[in-house]
């Protein structure tokens, strides 16, 4: 009845003194596409007031929607009523305008706008909604960068801004492209549960209490790993899913507690088949999003070689400055740091910073600070100047050793050699990180270059000295290389896995493996992981059962969609490619999650908080 009264009254499109109703108006166009061809067309546009320029007479409004911006003009001589209402417009008011597309006068076009050759002369304005003054400008051309905490609190406003909007739109389009690719390749998109079972190993789980089973919990999936293997057993030989995953670990610039994986699994395939499919998928994405043709097949690097040459298992091959092993050459030197290190079983490696001889003492100290974070005890440096080697340690190095190093590292006048000595893993890690740091700082990384590669043959296990046991590098279902099967009994630490990572520009964007499908191998792996039969039974008995009912050889991979989107959109933070991200303390500043709950709610779940 309210409504009927409203419509009867509403012959004059009024909601209140200030607001109009939309009535039967429909958008005829959006704000991003009108051009000279539309001149003379009568249009209805709807959107937000990006900016109002009031000249007392003429009023210009930049009208914005998802698609772009169109300038609409209110002229008191053309339509005084519309002009009068336009005087009260403010930023982010929602309006509808009816008007005529007109060419802009000579010299008045705006080359920065796609619609900059036209404008719309307004005959009627309907104010659909008002807006509070936004806490920051939606127009990013204005002012400086806004603090991220403010942007996160008002995420709905930040999402209106160009940068974030473009990222979100691109993400949607890329996601569709990925779906299309897999559907065309014959893959089935199959959903797996979010309320599932806590998985052993790996990251900390997010737990969900079960109301109907007090004291029992679901876990949110860290990945659909077990389910996709089950699907293989069930015969769905090509599966994919673009799926949310959850890990309760501390955040980083490229890590969120909930994130999206492109999850893939296939049966009856070799690693090479999988590589080919995934390379074609990436090529398709890059063709679509970047208009770049990615060369295939991607280079492959063994884990051992990656560590040896780049110090990291996700090498950035866009620039050189590879690590050089100096253990042999410097191990016998009179410098104690070097000789002691080698005597203690350590290694000495260095990188040659071409043309780096000019770095100041302060800059070298900063670099030493940088590597100390990774546990490096010090950073030795050698400058090669016109007069020869300069370094506090130069006097300990014999001339023949100097020339050997020069040859090995292409160390020439003008260069700077940075050297770290210590335990092997620490040397590789810290020098590898230093290489990335310098590559960035010295602008050695070419713009617009995208280096894909596969890192293969990861170790199956890593030994933990403290716990005195092996852990899976990938996960417990990863198959060993067939030629290493015997080592499983002799030297488990040397067994290589049929695991692989896809690396793009030094970022690990995906990883997977060929899985174990034979129960005997699986049992041996569990043994090595000190997972007893009962424990295995309890934790993932359902998978072990399934494997006994005719499991096909299978394998898969999962990509981090967020990281891929970061690279595609050049975002510095994962938060810039996720519509509603969380802060470093895993909070959502907009919704204020997480929050305390009523005691009733806890009671119902059989939970009691520790005081």
Partner RNA sequence: GGGGUCGUAGUUAAGUUGGUUAUAACGCCGGCCUGUCACGCCGGAGGCCGCGGGUUCGAGUCCCGUCGACCCCGCCA
Pick from 150, 425, 593, 597 the residue near RNA by CB under 7 A: 150
Phi, psi (deg, nearest 5) at residue 324: -120, 130
- Please identify, using beta-carbon distances, which residue of 326 and 376 lies nearer to RNA: 376
The residue range among 148-156, 174-182, 437-445, 593-601 that interacts with RNA, by the rule CB under 7 A, is 148-156
The residue range among 253-261, 274-282, 401-409, 594-602 that interacts with RNA, by the rule CB under 7 A, is 253-261
Pick from 65, 119, 316, 484 the residue near RNA by CB under 7 A: 119
Smallest gap from Cβ 3 to RNA, in A, equals 32
The residue range among 50-58, 188-196, 381-389, 540-548 that interacts with RNA, by the rule CB under 7 A, is 50-58
Build a one-symbol-per-residue string for 561-580: x at contacts with RNA by CB under 7 A, - elsewhere: ------------x-x-----
457: left (phi over 0), alpha (psi -120 to 50) or beta: left
Q: What angle do CA 30, 31, 32 make, to 5 degrees?
A: 95
SS (H, E, C) 193-244: CCCECCCCCCCCCCEEECCCCCCCEEECCCCCHHHHHHHHHCCCCEEEEEEE
Query: Under the criterion CB under 7 A, does residue 584 sit at the interface with RNA?
Result: yes
71 HSE (CA, 13 A, CB side) = 23
Query: Under the criterion CB under 7 A, does residue 54 sit at the interface with RNA?
Result: yes
Q: Provide the token pair at 169.
A: 């739109």
Residue 90's closest CA among 51, 135, 58?
A: 51
C-alpha distances in angstroms, 586 versus 194, 286, 290? 19, 31, 32
Smallest gap from Cβ 162 to RNA, in A, equals 12
d(CA 321, CA 198): 43
The residue range among 13-21, 247-255, 319-327, 534-542 that interacts with RNA, by the rule CB under 7 A, is 247-255
Please list every residue from 369 through 398 that binds RNA, using CB under 7 A. Answer: 373-374
Query: Under the criterion CB under 7 A, does residue 17 sit at the interface with RNA?
Result: no
Applying CB under 7 A, the site for RNA has a residue count of 74
The residue range among 26-34, 47-55, 413-421, 527-535 that interacts with RNA, by the rule CB under 7 A, is 47-55
186 HSE (CA, 13 A, CB side) = 6
Query: Under the criterion CB under 7 A, does residue 461 sit at the interface with RNA?
Result: no
Query: Under the criterion CB under 7 A, does residue 524 sit at the interface with RNA?
Result: no
Pick from 28, 30, 41, 110 the residue near RNA by CB under 7 A: 110
CB 148, CB 587: distance < 8 Å? no
Q: What does 469-482 look like in DSSP terms, one character per residue?
A: EEEESS-TTBPBPG
d(CA 306, CA 321): 13
CB 312, CB 429: distance < 8 Å? yes
- Please identify, using beta-carbon distances, which residue of 3 and 55 lies nearer to RNA: 55
Pick from 51, 177, 437, 523 the residue near RNA by CB under 7 A: 51
Please list every residue from 179 through 218 that binds RNA, using CB under 7 A. Answer: 202-204
Query: Under the criterion CB under 7 A, does residue 473 sit at the interface with RNA?
Result: yes
Query: Under the criterion CB under 7 A, does residue 264 sit at the interface with RNA?
Result: no
The residue range among 23-31, 272-280, 536-544, 582-590 that interacts with RNA, by the rule CB under 7 A, is 582-590
Pick from 173, 253, 343, 425 the residue near RNA by CB under 7 A: 253
Smallest gap from Cβ 555 to RNA, in A, equals 13
**302-341: burial string, b at 16+ Cβ within 10 Å, e else:** ebeebbebbbbbbbbbebebebbbbbebbbebebebbbeb
- Please identify, using beta-carbon distances, which residue of 585 and 608 lies nearer to RNA: 585
Strand-pairing partners, residue 20, are: 14
- Please identify, using beta-carbon distances, which residue of 61 and 178 lies nearer to RNA: 61
C-alpha distances in angstroms, 304 versus 310, 422, 428, 451, 595? 10, 18, 11, 19, 46
Smallest gap from Cβ 509 to RNA, in A, equals 10
- Please identify, using beta-carbon distances, which residue of 245 and 409 lies nearer to RNA: 245
Query: Under the criterion CB under 7 A, does residue 589 sit at the interface with RNA?
Result: yes
């Amino acid at each position: 009845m309210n409504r009927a009264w409203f419509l009867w009254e509403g012959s004059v499109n009024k909601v209140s003194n200030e607001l109009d109703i939309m009535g039967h108006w429909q958008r005829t166009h959006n704000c991003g596409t009108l051009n000279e061809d539309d001149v003379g067309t009568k249009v209805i546009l709807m959107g937000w007031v990006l900016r109002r320029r009031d000249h007392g007479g003429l009023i210009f409004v930049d009208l914005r929607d998802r698609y772009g911006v169109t300038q609409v003009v209110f002229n008191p001589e053309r339509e005084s009523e519309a002009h009068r209402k336009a005087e009260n417009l403010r930023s982010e008011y929602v309006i509808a305008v009816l008007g005529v597309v007109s060419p802009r006068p000579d010299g008045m076009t705006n080359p920065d706008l796609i619609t900059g050759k036209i404008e719309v002369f307004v005959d009627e304005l309907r104010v659909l909604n008002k807006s509070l003054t936004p806490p920051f400008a939606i127009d990013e051309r204005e002012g400086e960068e806004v603090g991220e905490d403010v942007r996160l609190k008002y995420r709905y406003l930040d999402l209106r801004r160009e940068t974030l909007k473009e990222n979100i739109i691109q993400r949607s389009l890329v996601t569709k492209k990925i779906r299309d690719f897999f559907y065309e390749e014959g893959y089935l998109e199959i959903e797996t549960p979010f309320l599932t079972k806590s998985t052993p190993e790996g990251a900390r789980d997010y737990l969900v209490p079960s109301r109907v089973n007090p004291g029992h919990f679901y876990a949110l999936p860290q990945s659909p790993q077990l389910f996709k293997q089950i699907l293989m057993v069930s015969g769905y030989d090509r599966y994919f899913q673009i799926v949310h995953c959850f890990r309760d670990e501390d955040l980083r610039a490229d890590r969120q507690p909930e994130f999206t994986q492109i999850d893939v699994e296939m049966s009856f395939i070799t690693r090479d088949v999988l590589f080919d499919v995934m390379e074609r998928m990436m090529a398709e994405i890059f063709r679509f999003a970047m208009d770049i043709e990615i060369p295939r097949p991607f280079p492959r690097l063994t884990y051992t070689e990656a560590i040896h040459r780049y110090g990291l298992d996700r090498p950035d091959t866009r620039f050189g400055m590879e690590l050089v092993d100096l253990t042999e050459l410097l191990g016998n030197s009179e410098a104690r740091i070097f000789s002691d290190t080698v005597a203690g079983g350590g290694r000495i490696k260095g990188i040659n910073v071409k043309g780096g001889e000019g770095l100041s003492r302060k800059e070298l100290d900063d670099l030493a600070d940088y590597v100390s974070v990774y546990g490096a005890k010090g950073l030795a440096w050698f400058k090669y100047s016109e007069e020869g080697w300069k370094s506090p340690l130069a006097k300990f190095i014999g001339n023949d050793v100097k020339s050997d190093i020069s040859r090995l590292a292409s160390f020439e006048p003008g260069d700077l050699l940075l050297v770290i000595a210590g335990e092997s893993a620490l040397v590789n890690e810290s020098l590898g990180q230093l290489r990335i740091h310098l590559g960035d700082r010295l602008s050695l990384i070419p713009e617009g270059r995208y280096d894909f590669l596969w890192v293969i043959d990861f170790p199956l296990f890593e030994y933990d000295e403290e716990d005195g046991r092996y852990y899976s590098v990938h996960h417990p279902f990863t198959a060993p290389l067939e030629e290493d099967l015997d080592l499983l009994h002799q030297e488990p630490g040397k067994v290589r896995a049929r695991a692989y990572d896809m690396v793009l520009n030094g970022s690990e964007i995906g990883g997977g493996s060929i899985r174990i499908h034979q129960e005997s191998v699986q049992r041996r792996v569990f043994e090595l992981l000190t997972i007893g039969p009962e424990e295995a039974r309890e934790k993932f008995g359902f998978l072990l059962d399934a494997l006994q009912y005719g499991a096909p050889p299978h394998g898969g991979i999962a990509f981090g969609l967020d990281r891929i989107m970061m690279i595609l959109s050049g975002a510095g933070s994962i938060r810039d490619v996720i519509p509603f991200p969380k802060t470093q303390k895993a909070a959502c500043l907009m919704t204020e999650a997480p929050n305390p709950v009523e005691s009733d709610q806890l009671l119902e779940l059989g939970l009691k908080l520790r005081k």
